[in-house]
Structure formats: C-alpha cells, structure tokens
C-alpha cells in the first residue's frame, strides 16, 4: 500500500508506526507540521526503505494566543496538506492530531480525490474548547466550540474508519453516529528509542543538575494544565526541608507564567526549550521524579503521551491528573502516584515525592516497575498489525482497490 500518515504534532510513536509499516513493505510518506512547536520524535528517514518524511508549515509561525489569526493559519495549513495529498496520491491516509480547520480542508481534498482515510482521534477538540469557554479564557471559545464540533463531526462521518485512544471516546462517537467504525487502540511509546539512562549523565552535567534533587516536567504545557502546580509542588517540598529544583523542558505560553510564579515563591527553576529527541533519555533520566499534569475537565478525552515516555524511561512518576484518566490507571499499575490536579492535593503529593527522595531503594524499584509495565503494554507489533488491517479495510470498503 502507498500510505500517507500525517501526524500534525510530530510525536515519537506515530513516526515509529510509519517505520514499522515501511518495514512491512508499504510505501509510506510520513508528514508533520513544522510550525507546531512541541517535543518531536525521530523525524528522519534513517535506513528504512520505503519511508519518506515530509512537512507542511515550514514558513508559518503559529500564534497560539491570537485565536482568530490562528484559525486562518490552521486553514492555510489545511490547504498545504491538501496540496501534499494531491502530489503524493496515496491509496489511503491516516490523519492524527490535526486542528479542526486543517482536518476539514484535508478531508475535503481526500474526498474529492476519492482517497479513503482513517481518523486517528487523539483529542475531541470541541470538548477542550468548551472547557476554555467555561473558564472564561475567551468569549470566542463558546462560539468556536459549537462550530468546531460540527466540523469535527462532519469529518468523522467522512472517514472510512476511526481509531480512538481510549474507550471514553465511544460516547462522543455514539452521539455523532460514527461508533460503528471505531476501533480502540491505546497510545504507546517507542521502547527501543526511549531507554532508561543513568541519573548522572552528560545532559545533567551540562545543565548543572548532577547531584541536585530534581522534579522534572518535559513536554507540551498549556495554561489549562495549570503549570503553577509544578511551582507549588516544589514550594511544598522546600517548606518541608527538601533542597530540590524544578526542571521544565518546554516552549510555549506557560514559560512566562512559570518564571513569574517561581520568582514570586522563591522556587529554583531550570527552564529549557524542547531538547533534541536523541537526548530525551538523558533528559528524563535526570528527573528524580517526573511529573504529568492534566486538567480535571480534560481527563476523559486526553491521554498525555508524556506519561508513556516517562514509563519507558524507567523513572518514578507523579501524576497530577483526574483519577479516571487512562494514563492515571497506568501510573497506578506501575506503583507510582496519582493526585488530583489542584492546590489542595499538593501537600499529599509532596509527601509522596519526599518518600521517593528519602528511600533510594524504593525509587529504584519504582523505576524498574515503570519500565517493566512499558515493556508489557507497548508492543508495537500488535498495534502495527491492527493499523495495517484497518488501512486495508478502509481501501476495500471504499472500492479504492478496484
């Protein structure tokens, strides 16, 4: 099969899936959006025959805070992706993590060319927008949520098949009338790329973190995650006598918020931009405790992929997230801790972190359990086979194979 995989974010495990499909003899074009700033996976072709990496948005600088401007930018990116589809002419496409304007334009082009496509549904965008509107982030959000929900529903109905990352998504697809073509495939992380690294490594030495107790966050961090919770957690630890530093690897709107909160509360902060993917094992290895944040109202329809990377890295993990989130379930299976994402929970979270700090044998056992769970859960071969079958079925159902 000639397959176009577009992962707007450029995350590691989507690229890993494309590599595996190419190894199985398929002709794969893996597309990402260069304009979207996040921690990227290994987006180089390497030695895998039949795989090419391409981008859209090379000349776009996304303005995440100017919502109207961003709407036009994401629509433009949809036209870039549509032109890419027309050039590549795949037999089937797999689309994931796209903003709704980009998705809608791409879906129009795929329909015009009669190319079947599969929606890899990682987030329900309308749900997130409704939560922004409820929080009073922007008056436009309430209107945008209604418009985007209709567009997202429209796109889902035109997909030949849909892959969702958690069973909680089924409720939305039942409401949309699309649940009959939905398959649940949980996300995973690339075990062979994110390996446990020594606590004291070259990256920790470069940034003056060797021998320094650290609470570390690496990955996408929006304002709705409440980044101040990270500062509050380290503040509690320091009040309890721990000499600890907060390390955050991120680019985005949370950066000035973190700087201001850390300065106001006297919390030592090492703030760094996203690091090269090949150094991610060292980055995660530098964290004595790794933290995941997820807002309460995002808990049902978002599974933070950083949780999966943390488990691969073999470190103790603290989740400040809704207890019912699938990622929270994984952390509990790994004997790590989950607390509600709110200030009132930080005293208990800090006590758990202190127990990890004060008992190296316990910390080591937690790290081993994290890696062991990842090795049990993140089997690429089975996931790739399921995607392969879904893509084949999409071609057959559309008549594209005739």
57: three-class secondary structure by DSSP: coil
59 and 158, same domain (yes or no):
yes
So what's the pLDDT on residue 202? 97
> How far is residue 212's CA from residue 218's CA, in Å, rounded to a whole number?
17
172 and 313, same domain (yes or no):
no
240 and 320, same domain (yes or no):
yes
So what's the pLDDT on residue 401? 43
Token digits for 285? 């290895």
160 and 27, same domain (yes or no):
yes
> How far is residue 238's CA from residue 70's CA, in Å, rounded to a whole number?
40
353 and 383, same domain (yes or no):
no
Which of 374, 204, 370 lies closest to 287, judged by CA?
Answer: 204
15: three-class secondary structure by DSSP: helix
Domain count, the chain: 2
So what's the pLDDT on residue 142? 63
216 and 288, same domain (yes or no):
yes
Domain residues for the domain of 116 are: 2-188+379-398
108 and 54, same domain (yes or no):
yes
Question: From the DSSP assignment, how many helices (H) and strands (E) are in the chain?
Answer: 15, 13
Host H or E run for residue 305? helix 305-313
The answer to whether residues 34 and 57 touch, using CB atoms and an 8 Å cutoff, is yes
215 and 155, same domain (yes or no):
no
Domain presence at residue 359? yes
Residues written for the chain: 402
CATH of the domain at 140: 3.40.50.2000
Positions in the chain short of pLDDT 50: 134, 400-402
Distances (CA, A) of 101 to 95, 106, 130, 201, 336: 13, 9, 17, 43, 38
So what's the pLDDT on residue 399? 62
Cβ neighbours of 402 (radius 10 Å)? 6
106 and 242, same domain (yes or no):
no
Burial of residue 170 (number of CB atoms within 10 Å: 0-12, 13-18, 19+): middle
162 and 33, same domain (yes or no):
yes
Residue with tokens 């700090």: 357
Residue range 135-156, pLDDT digits in tens? 555 556 667 678 888 999 999 9
């Amino acid at each position: 099969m000639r397959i176009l995989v577009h992962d707007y974010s450029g995350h590691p495990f989507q690229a890993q899936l494309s590599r595996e499909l190419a190894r199985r003899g398929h002709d794969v074009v893996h597309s990402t959006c260069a304009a979207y700033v996040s921690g990227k996976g290994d987006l180089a072709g390497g030695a895998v025959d039949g795989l090419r990496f391409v981008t859209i948005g090379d000349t776009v600088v996304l303005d995440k805070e100017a919502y109207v401007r961003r709407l036009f930018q994401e629509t433009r990116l949809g036209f870039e992706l549509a032109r890419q589809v027309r050039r590549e002419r795949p037999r089937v496409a797999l689309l994931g993590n796209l903003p709704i304007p980009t998705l809608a334009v791409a879906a129009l082009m795929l329909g015009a060319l009669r190319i079947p496509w599969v929606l890899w549904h990682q987030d329900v965008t309308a749900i997130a927008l409704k939560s922004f509107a409820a929080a009073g982030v922007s008056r436009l959000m309430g209107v945008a949520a209604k418009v985007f929900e209709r567009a997202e529903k429209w796109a889902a109905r035109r997909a030949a098949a849909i892959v969702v990352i958690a069973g909680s998504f089924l409720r939305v697809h039942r409401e949309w009338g699309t649940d009959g073509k939905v398959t649940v495939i949980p996300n995973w992380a690339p075990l062979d790329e994110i390996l446990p690294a020594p606590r004291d490594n070259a990256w920790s030495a470069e940034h003056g973190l060797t021998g320094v107790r650290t609470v570390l966050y690496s990955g996408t961090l929006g304002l709705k995650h409440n980044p101040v919770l990270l500062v509050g957690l380290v503040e509690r630890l320091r009040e309890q006598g721990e000499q600890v530093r907060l390390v955050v690897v991120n680019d985005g709107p949370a950066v000035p918020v973190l700087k201001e909160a850390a300065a106001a509360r006297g919390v030592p902060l090492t703030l760094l931009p996203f690091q090269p993917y090949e150094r991610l094992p060292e980055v995660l290895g530098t964290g004595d405790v790794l933290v995941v944040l997820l807002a309460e109202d995002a808990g049902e329809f978002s599974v933070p992929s950083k949780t999966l990377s943390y488990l691969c890295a073999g470190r103790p993990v603290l989740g400040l997230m809704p207890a019912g989130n699938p990622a929270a379930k994984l952390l509990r299976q790994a004997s790590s801790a989950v607390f509600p994402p709110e200030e009132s929970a930080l005293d208990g979270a800090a006590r758990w972190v202190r127990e990890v700090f004060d008992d190296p044998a316990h910390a080591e056992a937690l790290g081993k359990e994290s890696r062991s769970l990842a090795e049990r859960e993140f089997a690429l071969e089975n996931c790739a086979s399921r995607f392969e079958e879904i893509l084949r079925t999409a071609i057959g159902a559309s008549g594209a194979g005739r």
